[in-house]
Amino acid sequence: MSANSARSSLDDSSLLAEVEEDGHEEEAATGERENRWWKKVLDLEEAKNQVLYSLPMILTNVSYYMIPMVTVMFAGHLGDLELAGSNLANSWATVTGYAFMISKSAALYMRYLIPGLFAYGVLQNILRFLQTQSVVVPLVFCSVLPLIAHVGVAYVLVHWTPLGFKGAALAVSISLWIAVLFLAGYMLLAKKFHKTWNGFSAESLGHVFTNLKLALPSAAMVCVNTEAIAYMITYGLSAAASTRVSNELGASNPDRAMHAMAVTLKLSLCLALIVVLALGFGHNIWASLFSDSSTVIEYFASLTPFLLISIVFDSIQGSDAYCAGVARGCGWQHLAVYANLGTFYCIGMPIAILLGFKLKLYAKGLWLGLICGLCCQTSTLLLLTLRSKWIQMELSENTSNENHVIV
C-alpha cells in the first residue's frame, strides 16, 4: 500500500509539474503575442528614445514661447484694447488692416519689443549650436529660469511703474536678454564646448553660402506658412524626427529612418489628442487667463472647434511635428516651401477671403479658409513623405552637407 501511495503521489507531482510548466509556457506565449501586438501598434523602444529626446526640447520651446504669452496675459487684464494690441504686435497680421486704435496700440507695443529682437536672434543661434550636439537638458533650466523671472519682471513693470502697457512689451525684451545671458554663460563656462567652438574666425565666413543653401529654404518654409495657429509643444517632436531621420540616413539605414518617421506620426497624433481634449473641455479656463471680458471668453468658445481641427492637422504636418521634421531631416526644405506657398496662398487664402468677406462669415470664414489650406498642405507633405524613395548620400564637407532625394 505504501509503495502504491508513493507511486501515486509521484505521478500526481509529475502531472502537476507538467501542468505548471504548460501554464508557464502558455503565459510566456501570451506575453510574447502581446508584445508583438504592441510592437505592431507602436515601437515602445523607439518611442521612448524620441520622447526622451523631445521632452527637454518641448519644455524649452514652451518656456520661451510663454515669455511673450505671459506678457499678453498681463496686458489683456488691463483692457480689451491692450489685449488686441499686444496680440497684433506679436503676429504678422498687421498687413491685413485693423481698427486704428488697435493698430496704434500694436505699434506702441512693438517699439518696446525691438531690443528683444536682437536677443532673440542670438538666442536662436545658441540653441541650434547646443541642439546639434544633443545638449538639451541644460536648455530646460536656461529657459525655465528666465520664464520664472519674466513673471516677476512683467508684474513689476505693468503694475508698479507708470509704464503699464509699454512695460509689458519691455518685460519681454528684458527676459529674452536674461535668457541669452544664461545660455551664453553656460556655453562659455562648460569645458566640453571648447573643442567645438573656439570663437569667431575668418574661416567660418567661407561656409556662409553653404549654410544659406539650407537656411534660406528653411526660413521660407516657415515664412510662407502663416496659419499662426501652431502650438509649440510638437516642435520638440519635430526636432526628434529631423534628428532621427537625418542620423539614420547618414548611417545608410533608410528603413530605420522610415520606421522612426512612422513612430513620430503616432506620437504626434497621441499628443494632438491630449491637447484637443484638454482645450476642448477647458477652453473657458484658458480664455479667462487672457481676459476678464465675458464677450472675449464667449467668442473664444465659438472659435474653439476651428482651433481643435487646426491642431490635429498641424500635428501631422510640420511647422511642427511630423512632416516638416522629416523634411528637415531629409533636406527637403525647398519642396516644403513650394507646398506651403501653393496650398496657403493659392488655395487657403482665396477660400478665406471668399468665406470671410464675401459670405460675411468674418473670423470663422477666415479660419475655415486657413483650415482648407492647412488640410491641403498636410495632404501634400504627407503624400510626399509616404511616396518618396529615399537614397542615402554621404554627409560630409565634400557634399555640401545635403541629402539627395529621389521623389
- Give the residue extent of every domain in the chain: 44-78+213-395, 104-198
Which residues, in sequence order, are bridge partners of residue 389?
Answer: 406
* Res 262: pLDDT: 78
33: number of Cβ within 10 Å: 10
> Backbone dihedral region of 405: left (phi > 0), alpha (psi from -120 to 50 degrees) or beta?
beta
The rounded radius of gyration (Å) of the Cα atoms in the chain is 27
What are the φ/ψ torsions at residue 406 (nearest 5 degrees)?
Answer: -95, 120
* Res 391: pLDDT: 54
CA distance 37 to 322: 24
Segment 116-174, tens digit of pLDDT: 989 988 998 898 888 778 788 888 899 999 999 999 999 999 989 998 888 998 999 99
Secondary structure class of 7 (helix, strand, coil): helix
Residue 132: closest CA among 187, 180, 178, 179: 187
How far does CA 26 lie from the centroid of its chain?
44
How far does CA 245 lie from the centroid of its chain?
16
Asked whether 267 and 237 are in contact (CB, 8 A), the reply is yes
* Res 379: pLDDT: 84
Q: How far apart are the first and last CA of the chain?
A: 84
CA distance 73 to 77: 7
14: number of Cβ within 10 Å: 10
Q: Using CB atoms within 10 A of its CB, is residue 368 exposed (0-12), middle (13-18) or buried (19+)?
A: buried
Asked whether 110 and 89 are in contact (CB, 8 A), the reply is yes
* Res 25: pLDDT: 53
Q: Which residue reads 489650406 in cell numbers? A: 373
* Res 335: pLDDT: 74
The number of C-alpha atoms within 13 Å of 90 and in the hemisphere containing its C-beta is: 22
CA distance 361 to 353: 10
Q: Which residues contact 298 (CB under 8 A, 6 or more apart)?
A: none
Q: What DSSP designation does 99 have?
A: -
Instruction: Specify the pTM.
Output: 0.66
Residues in the chain: 407
The sign one gets for the Cα dihedral 37, 39, 42, 47 is positive
* Res 101: pLDDT: 58
**Rounded to 10 degrees, what is the CA torsion of 272, 275, 279, 280?**
50
CA distance 129 to 180: 13
Q: Which residue reads 504669452 in cell numbers? A: 69
* Res 6: pLDDT: 46
**Which stretches of the chain score pLDDT less than 50?**
1-2, 6-7, 10, 15-16, 19, 92-99, 226-230, 319-321, 392-407
User: Considering all CA atoms of the chain, what is the largest pairwise distance in Å, rounded to the nearest integer?
Assistant: 109
